[in-house]
Structure 1
């Protein structure tokens, strides 16, 4: 993507949150990454998301993250839009990665800085500082699980910053979704951050979703999303129900380790996680394998 206008125009639909396949020794498996990316693009996904929370960015060095950005953009080219997570606790790293992501033609995802007792005004000022660094704009990454949960009133202030093109919203409480859908629709693009419960936000008018479990169940989640897009709520509901067993296990055993185990069970190259996460073993691994087999053979 060459600029903010093109980025905004292409920012919609189903984005695969691509896991980062590590080898058992913690090294990157770029061949596996390329295979996984090409699979979802070939199936018709609208975009991909790289190096996010479930891409395990907190366990990567800044140089590893920058190299990951470059490798992925070499693989994808301009076939689909790419969200590149530039989040971090060090503003210097965020600055460098945000600029790099935009220079490469991706869309940088920026979280509010997660330091102690930061004020709303300081958060807005941070986004004002970061947004001009990217020629493609910036995506607000509201990820309560790793930092600050932005209230709707602050999101609205950030949305007014020139160059902010959208939000990946992790707080999916009904009241917040209602506010964002009705106050920000048409101003910035709205993305539901979770495939565990995306039907509601999409029915409220969100522009798209990002999905980690689509790494393991790409066909089912793609069909579900297309049903929502087409206004077929009944089909979307039944398809979403069909893979509840894996969602239940993901909530119990954690992500992305559950998705990687399910990918490996299907012969996809999920690889391993990096510490402090641990790969599933024993009964949890057996449960994920059994659920994946049952879902995909139905």
Structure 2
């Protein structure tokens, strides 16, 4: 997988708060030849405001537009039960990569975090599974050592580190060079690549894809 810049796409909503699926499709089509891929229904996609059916239809639409290998479907939830259902359904839709933010709101111990990802992995064994670490949004800190133990226990394909966790990209990439580790900090793509990261998953790339494709090419 040659992804360097993935766009963390926003979810367009109608005035009544429902998902504007036609607008979402137009956005995906706009980005299809301007970004390496998309993260769908993530933080920028306002996933807490989406029900399960809305998340799945966005994932299905993105797969239809870009193909299954150019998206990462975010299926994370506060609890494993919901995340497992979403992971299973996203896999049935054909997603080849899924990501799950760590449990949030409900405090989780390191063992419970591992169990959360293991249940997702068991429910959807085919797609590559990415951990999504974003302590400012979840209230959960995953230190590099814990991440490495988690990756080994679960068989992660990679991760996205956002917020202060982006500072751990270099350490985790060095410790587990076989993983594809993305940064949510899109202020310095070159620094992320020098640190051993696979690239960035960028909210700004949804609005300014040409800037980031130019940086990637350079």
| TM-score (ref. length: structure 1) | 0.67
- Identify unmatched segments of 5+ residues in structure 1: 1-9, 228-298
Using a 3 Å threshold, how does the CA distance of structure 1 residues 112 and 69 change in structure 2: closer, same or farther?
same
- In structure 2, what is the Cα distance between the partners aligned to 1:198 and 1:149? 23
Q: Deviations over 1:93-134 (max 9, x none)?
A: 111111122222222111221244422122112212211222
Matched, 1:225 2:205: no
Which residue pairs with 1:165 in the alignment? 157
Q: Mark the structure with the bigger radius of gyration.
A: 1
| Gapped regions of structure 2 (runs ≥ 5) | none
Residue 7 of structure 2 corresponds to 16
2:40 alignment partner in structure 1: 50
Are 1:29 and 2:23 counterparts? no
Does the 8 Å contact 1:94/1:110 carry over to 2? yes
Structure 2 counterpart of 1:152: 144
Cα root mean square deviation, aligned: 1.8
Q: Within 5 Å, which residues of 2 pair with 1:30-179?
A: 30-43=21-34, 45-78=35-68, 80-106=69-95, 107-134=97-124, 135-147=126-138, 148-161=140-153, 163-170=155-162, 171-173=165-167, 176-179=168-171
Q: CA 1:40–1:165 in structure 2 vs 1: closer, same or farther (change >3 Å)? A: same
Matches of 1:68 and 1:124, distance apart in 2? 27
Where 1:161 maps in the other structure, the secondary structure is helix
Q: Is the 8 A contact 2:7 2:205 kept in 1?
A: yes
**1:162 positional shift:** 5.0
Query: Aligned residue pairs: how many?
Result: 213
When normalised by structure 2's length, the TM-score is 0.89
